[in-house]
Amino acid sequence: MKELIGTGVALITPFKSDLSIDHQALAAIVEFNITNGVNYLVICGTTGESVTLSTEEKKAITQTVIAANNGRVPLVIGIGGNNTAAVIAELKSSDLSEITAILSVAPYYSKPTQEGFYQHFKAIAEATNTPIILYNVPGRTAKNVEASTVLRLANDFESIVAIKEAGNNMDQYLELIAHKPEGFLVISGDDDLVLGVTLAGGAGVISVIGQAFPEAFSEMIQLGLESEVKTSRNLETRLMPIINLIFEENNPAGIKAVLKNMGYCNGLVRLPLVPATTGLQSKIDAFVAQF
């Protein structure tokens, strides 16, 4: 799955003032990212506020991104949850003909054992021929998918091709990189750690901030993949303040505040999230003005 090496971005879902989906804005964000060097796009992930989207809205978003992309970069779609049967039903009812891989989050709220995580992803792998990227984000799901469980799944199922690791735990990244089977990709989901992960042998990132600064972020990742430490670290230093700012309140309110400044969306999010405060928006505006 070499097409998933580099910079992927977790697309926001822009809304109109009535909180319906702004498909024109979404298409513009897709174009902005592709023309500025992003390697692939992720649809309906956490940053896309997937938990507040209806099935019909998800399908409409997917079609908008497919049309705007026009076959230029690979597409990944988020299909996951804590009801294994429902995830499988969504997989079977989805048209994945234009999709390179699915991103499937570890079951949240239920807090399974490691065997429960294994059996959940085993059932998903056996239900689809589409390649699967595991998504470990214990800060949201309340429980870590341990490296041993990920490696077991990677070795047992050829269709499980990668993990988006977002535990903000460098030790776990290094364990995965050291012991993964050949061809399995360790993709960072932590924008603040991604360069270190890439330099250590990771496959790049599925980024939040990358969609606002696609040229600089993609360059940083590419330099990291080429082991150009000094130049990539210089870019990391420039980007780190805005990486920290966008996660100061909640995601995706922070990244939407950046894109609002750039004229791509209005910054609105659906409840239970709320838009960035005026204080955070001011700090983000100041950063963008001097970048």
Q: Which residues are catalytic?
A: 135, 164
Q: How far apart are CA 39 and CA 201, in angstroms?
A: 18
First to last CA, the chain: 34
Is residue 284 within 8 A of residue 253, CB to CB? The reply is no
- Distance in angstroms (rounded) separating the CA atoms of residues 78 and 42: 7
Distance CA 37, CA 148 (A): 34
SS3 164: strand
Q: Rounded CA gap, 130 and 126, in Å? A: 10
Determine whether 52 is exposed, middle or buried from the number of CB atoms within 10 Å of its CB (0-12, 13-18, 19+). middle
